[in-house]
Amino acid sequence: MALDTAVRAAFERVLDPRDVLSDPVKCRAYECDGLTGYRVRPDLVLLPRDAAQVAAAVRVCHEHGVPFVARGAGTGLSGGALPVADGVVISVARLKSVLEVDPVNRRAVVQPGVTNLEITAAAAPHGLYYAPDPSSQQVCTIGGNVAENSGGAHCLKYGFTTNHVLSCEVVLADGSVVTLGTDTGEQAGPDLRGVFLGSEGTLGITTAVTVRLLRAPESVRTLLADFPSIAAAGDVVSDIVAAGIVPAAVEMMDTLAIEAAEEAVHAGYTVGVPAALVVELDGPVEECDAQFELVKAICEEHGCTRLHIAGSPEERAKIWKGRKAAFAAVGRISPDYFVQDGVVPRTRLAEVLDRIAGMGEEAGLRVANVFHAGDGNLHPLVLYSAAAGETERAEELSGAIAELCVEMGGSLSGEHGIGTDKACSMPKMFGEEDLATMHRVRAAFDPDGICNPGKVLPTPRLCGERPGKYKPHPLEESGAIERL
């Protein structure tokens, strides 16, 4: 059932009527995010120009019981910005001003439509930068980063979006505007900013974000190392950690990912090697140099077949270009692919990658791996051909890999979110009481359930089954934890 004309008129009273899109052709551009397999055409798309218009639009939704989905750049990979039938999309793409850069206090206030990289660009003249760096940082918005609690290659050392957002101005489901968090991150009472971050748009829409900026490190050292096996590369990661070094980044790629990246950007990777590591250290020059020598020695101890040290900022950029382009590059070696996003304890990396390889063989599909090895965040890319009728098999394999991560004591998602894609897998990771408690939190923010319904938490409608049926957590099965 389409939204009635009274609702549309109400939106046109609070926004410029030209900013209320209802033409089905125009609305079709908003029917999915980066997870293109799920599509729902919204009835209306709203393009507010400032925070007051966002709040006014949400108030109309509240008054008329219309569900809404906030949308930034639409680069999400879990269907978090999938529209709701009979609902509206509220795009924050026009709220793209850097409101303030405060070098003295090392923070910036930005609107949600500002891209991740634009924050660093605004901070750079002051010798500052914004640390969380998703691979999509050129295009993804800070509003989306807040919704997904985004990560990236440098989060092992520096933390995730939640560690760098001091406060958010938020429009709640009833259209009221509140500030969550403070100028310092110091709280007086429960940390509402913390629970809002990563809630995937289900608790409200952020209209301004105050982020912490860091001083650019004095020294950065980057190396690319090839290994005869995934296990050897994994041992290097373990030994670096055991040596008390916290690298700025440790990224691993397997044969297929290396081949794809090299074909796409000619970053100087060695095609054919079983595993490559990108290790980056940063900090004061003395510490950085001393630890870098140690990292090189650890690589050599584990049979490193080639050690390439970036000798200039250009060479460093090239190494990173290969890594960051890897997802897209996989398109060169396969007509289609799914990007999965699961996390395992770092010490189980080799075991999990073995299992994934076996599962791929069983399904008759290739799986490329490129991932954040330092924090165990895997990104298996399941390669398939839709034309050859492999879609369903690939989808099944991708889902099974995510659930394998949970079985290994990890998580369904490290940075892409649960969204629509994995809501039905949530009972694999959480028990009935855990999910029921999350529902209670959600209802406290949004009693009528109009904020991005159907995302994160499983619903009977979404999954075709009753949610929350108890299944033991893998840690319970192993005896590490007890269920009551």
Query: 10 vs 108, which CB is nearer to other proteins?
Result: 108
Q: Are 204 and 452 in contact (CB under 8 A)?
A: no
> CB of 189: closest distance to other proteins in angstroms?
6
Q: How far apart are CA 81 and CA 301, in angstroms?
A: 46
Least distance from C-beta 366 to other proteins, angstroms? 25
Q: How far is the CB of 413 from other proteins (least distance, A)?
A: 5
343 vs 412: CA distance, rounded Å: 7
Closer CB to other proteins, 171 or 397, in the complex: 171
Residues facing residue 177 across a β-bridge: 171
Residue 2 vs 443, nearer CB to other proteins: 443
For other proteins, the closer of residues 235 and 390 by Cβ is 235
Q: Are 330 and 257 in contact (CB under 8 A)?
A: yes
Q: Closest separation between CB of residue 204 and other proteins, Å?
A: 9
In order, the DSSP letters of 125-151 are GGTEE-----TTTTT-BHHHHHHHT--
**Which residue type does 169 have?**
E
Compute the least distance from the CB of residue 145 to other proteins, in Å.
11
C-alpha 236/C-alpha 319 separation (Å) is 19
SS3 content of the chain, % helix, strand, coil (to 5): 40, 20, 40
Residue 361 Cβ vs other proteins, minimum distance, rounded to whole Å: 26
**CB burial of residue 59 (10 Å; 0-12, 13-18, 19+):** middle
Identity of the residue, 269 or 445, whose beta carbon is nearer to other proteins in the bound complex? 445
> Which helix (H) or strand (E) covers residue 276, if one does?
strand 275-283
Cross-strand partners of 77:
none
Measured from the CB atom, the residue of 327 and 384 that comes closer to other proteins is 327
Closest separation in Å from C-beta 46 to other proteins: 24
Nearer Cβ to other proteins, position 117 or 438?
438
| C-beta closer to other proteins: residue 216 or 333 | 216
What is the smallest separation between the CB atom of 8 and other proteins, expressed in angstroms?
A: 29
Least Å from the CB of residue 438 to other proteins: 5
Alpha-carbon distance values, 298 to 225, 295, 302, 350 (Å): 11, 5, 7, 18
CB burial of 412-447 (b: ≥16 within 10 Å; e: otherwise) equals bbbbbbbbbbbbbbbbbbbbeeebeebeeebeebbe
Minimum CB distance to other proteins smaller for 287 or for 315: 287
Give yes or no for a contact between 64 and 10, defined as CB atoms under 8 angstroms apart: yes
Q: Which residue, 90 or 147, has its beta carbon nearer to other proteins?
A: 147
Least distance between other proteins and beta carbon 238 (Å): 6
Q: Quick check: helix, strand or coil at residue 381?
A: strand
Angle formed at CA 9 by CA 8 and CA 13, multiple of 5 degrees: 120
Report, in Å, the least distance between residue 445 CB and other proteins.
6
**Calpha distance 87→126 (Å, rounded):** 43
Helix axes 391-407, 349-363, angle to 10 degrees: 160
Nearest to other proteins of 85, 480 (CB atom): 480
Side-chain half-sphere CA neighbours of 252 within 13 A: 31
